[in-house]
Structure 1
Amino acid sequence: MTEPTPASGLPAQLLADPAMVAACQARNFTEIFRLAKARGGFHPSRIARACELTPSRVGEVIAGRREIANMTVIERIADGLRIPGHLVGLAPRAWERPEAARKPTALPADSVLPSRELDDILAIAASTRVTPTVLRSLQASIEDYWRRDDEHGGEALRPAVIGQLRYVLGILRDTADPNHQRSLHGIAAELARLTGWTYFDARQYSTARSYFTESLRLAREIDDRPFIANVLSCLSLQATYEDRAREAVILARAAQDSARLDGGAPRLMAMLSMREAFGHASAHDQDATHRAIEEAGRHFDRIDQADEEPAWVQYFDRTKLTVDTGIALGQLGDAAAAEPLIRDALRAETSANQRGRAFHAYWLARTQLQRGEVELACSTAGEALGLTTEVGSPRVVAHLQEFRHQLAPYRSTRPAAELSARIQEMRA
């Protein structure tokens, strides 16, 4: 048996073995883990540490009692065992690229971009005076940032948001008026959450978590319980994406507890219940998922249009409740119930949220494929692919890559082959 080096993961000889290549291409992690153990020296506990999994889960996979389909987990396994991306249908991993390719391009020698220290000096000199007009302007810019994020993605937007966050934190330090301090804390919390969201959508989860945590800290300073619940719901959704179902449920329930301390506005409680449903669905807990969905519906039915609600929860309307219900049922594998919900909600959507439409189209395609409607599923996924070219969202791209793998049994059909090629080109 060849002993691997700690930095290199599985031995190159094993990765080139036809049995391992076939297992990787099929994403047969039962066989991958068995070969890693038998011929690579990676025992279950070592696989668990390398791939950020629990030993019990690794044991279940090896025993054939559990499959792995979550894209984030697949990426963790590829990175932990140093399996080249192309073997498991992923883009080249960061560690595969030459060091020179990862170095940032140097700014020209005559660059006039200020350093952070210079930013601070200029901010002190400017001594911005906080007025209601300044606060309204900052809040309006946040609303504009969210609109642009929905339409085009957050990659290009992020530097401006981070810059404004730094600016707000700077003037917050110099503001004595308690009312203005409270407003600035709230604005900074929103900017930190938006920054975290852009990193989450880029699938940079560690950085996203740090900004979400900063947003929580800022909201806690002013005891804004509904906004604390909002940030916890973002962390819950991220945990679902990272295949940490138990953590997702705990965070969603903590969010509900925080919202209840402020009276539990029905629309907010409905959204938080759906986040809990996502966590249960990720764990394939049928009963708990249905209970959370029913709870979301009960909360939504209590909405009074005369009630004052935060602007950031207004997006959660009847259409969003319907499509989220369909997604949760789709995660459970109940395609027959999920498909009409997602389809009808997608038709009813009128917002300019391109990323949301692409995301929902992917889920509709997935449920159609589960029902054996291959040509229709490929057409729907093609629509999602077209929308993805309009908005930069690595999260949606990863879903489409996952869909390409799900098409593997149907690649002999023309629609599946053509769509697979288009998705492959997008990845390249």
Structure 2
Amino acid sequence: MPEPPRPKELPARLLADPLMIEACGARDFGRIFQLVKARAGVYPSMIARRCDLTPSRVGEVIAGHRQLLHMDVIERISDGLRIPGHMLGLARRSWETPQSLAATSREPAGESAPAVELLTAGLPGADVDSILALAAERELGPSTLDALHSSIADYWRRDDTHGGETLRPAVVGQLRYVVDLLKEQRPAPMRDGLHSIAAELARLTGWTYFDARQYNQARAYFTEALGLAKAIEDRQFMANVLACMSLQATYQDKPGDALALVTAAQDQARTAIGTTSRVLAMLAIREAFAHAVLGNHSATHSAISQAHTHFGRINADDPDPAWVAYFDEPKLIVDTGIAHGRLGEGTLAEPLIADALCREHRSNHRGRAFHSFWLARTQLQRGKLDEACHTAMGALAPAVAVSSRRVAGHLREFYEQLEPFRREPAAVAFESRLREVLPRQVSGSLRP
């Protein structure tokens, strides 16, 4: 007997909406059902069918005449509407990435280890003992937060250099560990600090899944990060997570979602106290990406102009959040080039991407590979076959050094774009080098 079809997932922008997050946190199913109807087109009769409820019961809940309190009913709603478990205060559901992160064919088997084992096995060397020792104390102190922040900074450095796939078990273990710390009553500064750290760990986990092109898992963790940041009203960080979700939507070829998510991010940033010019510049560039995927030239150029205006207002003493420090001048320049490249404006894109590559740190393997393939595609778009193949050949070393399905996707796209030129000497030389470096990929998945 065939398995019943899997329920359709709710739109990312609905799960990311602060109204939905708040309603789920309060288990206000009347509001949840109203939002699901209005924003996802799932009507009460469909809600009843998917959640194994009677239509009259759903109607009473929407009208405010009845509450849903039994745990088995809440679990059915989570499963039927595909609302991530943590949004309703439940354990991670079976259709999500399991809490133990049971291994799949695309993930290391070690991810099924308990969180405590992952924590002791995977955290960066110098900070492990201090984190574990301090965590064992009944009263956590500022040094605990410092140690956790230090490990997060180290995770991001390793992610840039090697990719996040092998880091993920340790990051998830540390996330669950910090979430467990939040279950105890703590002074407000410590509680807020732990919420902030948990939100950053959830975002990093989501990023590693996004980079691996495992988009459902990425969205679940990004949504968890939003909820953690919402708990302490950190609107700047909420904007950051929404911007990540917008970028993912551009990769999924959902430009409408991408624009809606980055617009929500900008709304959060504008209502936050002390939002810095660097944050606003980063968000404007993400808006430019969304407009570029939509093919809207004037809106893309306007967003690029806003990004450069905001960036020009940055002062050395601005209280920038640590998570936006990566958005420096070379990053602004290369992202500007990529936005032009998405529009097919190769003449504008090529010199910008080339300039930024010259200034990019060589330890950032993923960034160098990613931007090199963008430059190669732009050069090919302009008819510069020899230069494009030379640039792409230089991108192979950093591409091999980092584990990133996103980078592999850009390599595949460039390889496919070479199809009309397969017999040209430059293309032959590139494919020969590619076969040396990635023989299995060329014979298999890279083939158009």
TM-score normalised to structure 1 length: 0.71
Give me the whole-angstrom Cα distance separating, in 1, the residues matched to 2:242 and 2:331.
19
Q: 2:336 aligns with which of 325, 343, 346?
A: 325
The superposition leaves residues 12-43 of structure 1 with CA deviations (integer Å, 9 ceiling, x where unpaired) of xxxxxxxxxxxxxxxxxxxxxxxxxxxxxxxx
Preserved CA contact (<8 Å) 1:150 1:353: yes
Note the residue ranges of structure 2 that are not aligned, 5 or more in a row.
5-103, 120-131
1:415 deviation in Å?
A: 2.1
Written as runs of structure 1 = structure 2, the 5 A alignment for 1:54-93 is: none
Instruction: Say if 1:172 and 1:103 are closer, same or farther in 2 by CA, change over 3 A.
Output: closer
Preserved CA contact (<8 Å) 2:200 2:225: yes
Aligned length in residues:
324
Identical residues among aligned pairs (%) = 53
Written as runs of structure 1 = structure 2, the 5 A alignment for 1:5-24 is: none
Give me the whole-angstrom Cα distance separating, in 1, the residues matched to 2:335 and 2:239.
18
Preserved CA contact (<8 Å) 2:115 2:177: no
Give me the whole-angstrom Cα distance separating, in 1, the residues matched to 2:150 and 2:175.
14
Q: 2:380 aligns with which of 342, 354, 369?
A: 369
Residue matched to 1:75: none
Residue matched to 1:143: 153
Give me the whole-angstrom Cα distance separating, in 1, the residues matched to 2:254 and 2:145.
38
Residue matched to 1:299: 310
1:202 deviation in Å?
A: 0.3
Residue matched to 1:400: 411
1:168 and 2:173 are equivalent in the alignment: no
The superposition leaves residues 335-387 of structure 1 with CA deviations (integer Å, 9 ceiling, x where unpaired) of 01110011111112236211111111011101110111111101111111111
Residue matched to 1:96: none
Residue matched to 1:285: 296
SS of residue in 2 equivalent to 1:254: helix
1:224 and 2:234 are equivalent in the alignment: yes
Give me the whole-angstrom Cα distance separating, in 2, the residues matched to 1:168 and 1:186.
10
Name whichever of 378-387 and 230-239 sits farther off: 378-387
Give me the whole-angstrom Cα distance separating, in 2, the residues matched to 1:351 and 1:412.
32
1:305 deviation in Å?
A: 1.2
Give me the whole-angstrom Cα distance separating, in 2, the residues matched to 1:344 and 1:103.
36
1:337 and 2:351 are equivalent in the alignment: no
1:199 deviation in Å?
A: 0.3
Residue matched to 1:347: 358
Q: 1:416 aligns with which of 413, 422, 427?
A: 427
2:197 corresponds to which letter in structure 1? I
Give me the whole-angstrom Cα distance separating, in 1, the residues matched to 2:225 and 2:288.
24
Instruction: Say if 1:118 and 1:140 are closer, same or farther in 2 by CA, change over 3 A.
Output: closer
Give me the whole-angstrom Cα distance separating, in 1, the residues matched to 2:170 and 2:278.
30
SS of residue in 1 equivalent to 2:166: coil
SS of residue in 2 equivalent to 1:176: coil
1:417 deviation in Å?
A: 2.4
1:156 and 2:170 are equivalent in the alignment: no
Written as runs of structure 1 = structure 2, the 5 A alignment for 1:201-220 is: 201-220=211-230
Residue matched to 1:91: none
Instruction: Say if 1:372 and 1:291 are closer, same or farther in 2 by CA, change over 3 A.
Output: same
1:119 deviation in Å?
A: 9.3
Name whichever of 199-208 and 171-180 sits farther off: 171-180
Give me the whole-angstrom Cα distance separating, in 2, the residues matched to 1:372 and 1:330.
14
Preserved CA contact (<8 Å) 2:116 2:173: no
SS of residue in 2 equivalent to 1:389: helix
Give me the whole-angstrom Cα distance separating, in 2, the residues matched to 1:297 and 1:106.
45
CA RMSD, 1 decimal? 2.7
Instruction: Say if 1:189 and 1:414 are closer, same or farther in 2 by CA, change over 3 A.
Output: same
Give me the whole-angstrom Cα distance separating, in 2, the residues matched to 1:194 and 1:119.
16
1:393 corresponds to which letter in structure 2? S
1:411 deviation in Å?
A: 0.3
Give me the whole-angstrom Cα distance separating, in 1, the residues matched to 2:106 and 2:408.
24
1:425 and 2:415 are equivalent in the alignment: no
Preserved CA contact (<8 Å) 1:128 1:171: no
Preserved CA contact (<8 Å) 1:359 1:396: yes
Residue matched to 1:195: 205
Preserved CA contact (<8 Å) 1:185 1:221: yes
Give me the whole-angstrom Cα distance separating, in 2, the residues matched to 1:376 and 1:333.
18
Instruction: Say if 1:173 and 1:399 are closer, same or farther in 2 by CA, change over 3 A.
Output: same
Residue matched to 1:87: none
1:414 deviation in Å?
A: 2.2
Give me the whole-angstrom Cα distance separating, in 1, the residues matched to 2:296 and 2:174.
42
Give me the whole-angstrom Cα distance separating, in 1, the residues matched to 2:178 and 2:115.
14
SS of residue in 2 equivalent to 1:319: helix
Preserved CA contact (<8 Å) 1:256 1:269: yes
Written as runs of structure 1 = structure 2, the 5 A alignment for 1:33-72 is: none
SS of residue in 2 equivalent to 1:173: coil
Preserved CA contact (<8 Å) 2:211 2:404: yes
Q: 1:239 aligns with which of 243, 249, 252?
A: 249
Preserved CA contact (<8 Å) 2:182 2:195: yes
1:126 deviation in Å?
A: 4.8
Residue matched to 2:190: 180
Residue matched to 1:41: none
SS of residue in 1 equivalent to 2:317: coil
Give me the whole-angstrom Cα distance separating, in 2, the residues matched to 1:6 and 1:135.
47
Instruction: Say if 1:184 and 1:380 are closer, same or farther in 2 by CA, change over 3 A.
Output: same
1:106 deviation in Å?
A: 8.0
Instruction: Say if 1:103 and 1:144 are closer, same or farther in 2 by CA, change over 3 A.
Output: closer
The superposition leaves residues 223-280 of structure 1 with CA deviations (integer Å, 9 ceiling, x where unpaired) of 0011000000000000000011111111111111111112431110000000000011
SS of residue in 2 equivalent to 1:294: helix
SS of residue in 1 equivalent to 2:233: coil
SS of residue in 1 equivalent to 2:401: coil
2:162 corresponds to which letter in structure 1? H
Instruction: Say if 1:103 and 1:159 are closer, same or farther in 2 by CA, change over 3 A.
Output: closer
TM-score normalised to structure 2 length: 0.68
Preserved CA contact (<8 Å) 2:118 2:173: no
Q: 1:252 aligns with which of 255, 262, 268?
A: 262
Instruction: Say if 1:298 and 1:114 are closer, same or farther in 2 by CA, change over 3 A.
Output: closer
